[in-house]
């Protein structure tokens, strides 16, 4: 009887993790669209040697990284708080789902955001002017979603359990 209960318990936990990961992946697609709407595009000039920055002093590459961190970080904060409210009785499963789902959601946001921008326009004698697709140059921002989601979950759990111990 104990083995059957353990298998059912494991199956329920894995299903909850899978559903959370899939929901976060879908939210990652939305975050990618928001990122592509907010982040500035980088302009390049296409010349014989390949694409060159139209303005070598541009900050748009850094801006794109910053906007990615802001959008995915905000999504991480919201998903961490939401996961606590919905699954405070299963903290381990929620944290596993937030970590894995946050990584996947960040990757999906990157893929969706990359495809949302990028066109080529005719220019003068220097060649074609192109607007690149968005990308992340500071790869650490890919961890904003899972880090903030799990962090918020732990902070809320700590505050709630600390208040409960004081009673």
Q: pLDDT tens-digit profile of 137-160?
A: 889 999 999 999 999 999 999 988
Residue 2 has pLDDT above 70, yes or no: no
Interatomic CA distance for residues 20 and 80, integer angstroms: 11
- Residues 18-45: pLDDT tens digits? 999 999 999 999 999 999 999 887 766 7
User: What pLDDT is stored for residue 142 in this prediction?
Assistant: 94
Supply the DSSP symbol for 44: E
More confident residue, 126 or 37: 37
Mean confidence (pLDDT) of the chain: 83
Contact (CB, 8 A) for 71 and 126: no
Cβ atoms 133, 123 nearer than 8 A = no
pTM of the predicted model as reported, rounded to 2 decimal places: 0.81
Asked if the model's pLDDT at residue 1 lies above 60, the reply is: no
Alpha helices in the chain (DSSP H): 2-38, 60-87, 91-116, 144-166
Q: Does the pLDDT at position 64 exceed 70? A: yes
Q: Which pLDDT band, with edges at 50, 70 and 90, does 88 fall under?
A: confident
Position 42 scores a pLDDT of: 72
Q: Is 56 left (phi over 0), alpha (psi -120 to 50) or beta?
A: alpha
Mean pLDDT for the stretch of residues 94-122? 86
Q: Which residue in 107, 113, 117, 119 sits closest to 145, CA to CA?
A: 107
Contacts of 8 (CB under 8 A, 6+ apart): none
Q: What is the DSSP letter of 59?
A: -
User: Does residue 121 register a pLDDT over 80?
Assistant: no
- Packed helices 91-116 and 2-38: angle between N→C axes, nearest 10 degrees: 30
Asked whether residue 131 carries a pLDDT value surpassing 70, the answer given is no
Contacts (Cβ under 8 Å, ≥6 apart) of 64:
39, 40, 42, 134, 135, 136, 137
122: three-class secondary structure by DSSP: coil
Residue scoring higher pLDDT (56 or 159) = 159
Task: Flag whether pLDDT at 102 surpasses 80.
Answer: yes
């Amino acid at each position: 009887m104990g083995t059957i209960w353990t298998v059912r318990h494991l199956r329920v936990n894995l299903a909850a993790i899978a559903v959370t990961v899939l929901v976060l992946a879908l939210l990652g697609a939305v975050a990618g669209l928001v990122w592509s709407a907010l982040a500035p595009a980088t302009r390049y000039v296409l010349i014989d040697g390949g694409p060159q920055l139209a303005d070598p002093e541009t900050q748009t590459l850094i801006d794109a990284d910053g906007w990615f961190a802001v959008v995915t970080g905000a999504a991480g904060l919201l998903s961490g708080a939401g996961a606590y409210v919905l699954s405070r009785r299963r903290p381990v499963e929620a944290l596993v789902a937030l970590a894995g789902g946050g990584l996947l959601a960040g990757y999906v946001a990157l893929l969706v955001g990359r495809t949302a921008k990028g066109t080529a326009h005719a220019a003068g004698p220097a060649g074609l002017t192109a607007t690149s697709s968005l990308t992340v140059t500071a790869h650490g921002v890919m961890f904003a979603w899972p880090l903030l989601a799990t962090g918020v979950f732990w902070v809320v759990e700590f505050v709630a359990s600390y208040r409960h111990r004081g009673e």
